[in-house]
Amino acid sequence: MTVRTALEVIADHDLTGREAIVTGGAAGLGFETARALAAAGARVVLAGRDQQVGAAAVAALRASTGNDRIVFRPLDLASLESVTTWAHKHAATGKPLHILILNAGIMATPLRRTADGVESQFAVNYLGHFALTMGLLPSLRAAGSARVVSLTSRAHRRGDIDFDDPNYLRRHYDPWQAYGQSKTACALLAVGLHARYAVEGLTANAVMPGGIVTGLQRHLDPEQLAAAGWPALRRRGDIPPGWRTPEQGAATSVWAAVAPGLVGGEYLEDCAVATAWNADGNPPPGYYLPYAVDPGRADRLWALAEQLAGVGRKP
């Protein structure tokens, strides 16, 4: 199978006059996603924590794409105050938002809880993105036909949502299970958005980008990498067999943002709609576990997120 890059996916698209936001857009997968959108003429807002890294990314993207409509704005997804302030400031501009890429994330971190009392992976990967999307709803609605892309992972198989104890207050903390729970939540976010806002022109899908060597693995020591089945990652810079470059990994995110005819609430992989895995064992590439797109779980998670984030659906 030929694996396309994000720039190849975007090649025949003109996004002039479109606005896009990419969380985690200053590095890795997000950087390549932003590069493709900017190359097609979109105005791209990079959202991330580090102002210095963000400024360098803006300079690099402007130089490589010839598009000077690229900016960076600091955002801390671990802080609901930061998220809601950021979203409300953007929405207050009145500009339509055509593409929202929920890309930023952390993986297999030690147990930490945010100032809001939320387990850090659930907070950064899912809850912060949920609150950001809710705050940006006026901008998404103003676009008329907006796209929201929520990045999930094949690691969703490592953890369904524990609705009784999502923040590991009582159960044993396993960093991979917590990562899996957060990525299941990211898939269910797309399902929940589709159920509530498709009628308003919003198309939301979950994207599995593939195995990619980025800063996402920075918290893992060599033993953890080997235990996860990634021994080659012990040699930084190596790309294990079957893994992808960031340019390739960003392809499905970009495809989800621009491909015509997409229906929302789907799990996407390799620039296609993936298939539910109903057999025993772990799903192979191109498949997902059904609970990741289950409407009932999506509704329960939505209610939980509203409670944790202190936000509800606005009229």
DSSP-derived pairing of the beta strands 99-102 and 19-23: parallel
Measure the CA–CA gap between 94 and 143, rounded to whole angstroms: 10
The CB density around residue 290, as the number of other CB atoms within 10 Å, is: 13
- Active-site residue, from 126, 168, 173, 179: 179
Whether the Cβ atoms of residue 158 and residue 227 lie closer than 8 Å to each other? no
> DSSP alpha helices (H): ranges in 105-197?
120-121, 128-135, 137-143, 175-197
187 and 293 Cβ atoms separated by less than 8 Å: yes
Q: How far is Cα of residue 59 from the mean position of the Cα atoms in its chain? A: 23
Helix count and strand count (H, E) for the chain: 12, 10
179 is catalytic: yes
Angle separating helix axes 51-65 and 28-39, nearest 10 degrees = 40
CB neighbourhood size of 113 (10 A): 15
Task: Determine the Cα–Cα distance for residues 99 and 214; give it in Å rounded to an integer.
Answer: 23
Residue 9 is inside which H or E element, if any? helix 6-10
Q: Are 68 and 113 in contact (CB under 8 A)?
A: no
Q: Do 297 and 291 form a contact (C-beta atoms < 8 A)?
A: yes
Q: How far apart are CA 117 and CA 99, in angstroms?
A: 30
Q: Which sign, positive or negative, has the C-alpha torsion 102, 295, 258, 306? A: negative
Task: Please give the positions annotated as active site.
Answer: 179
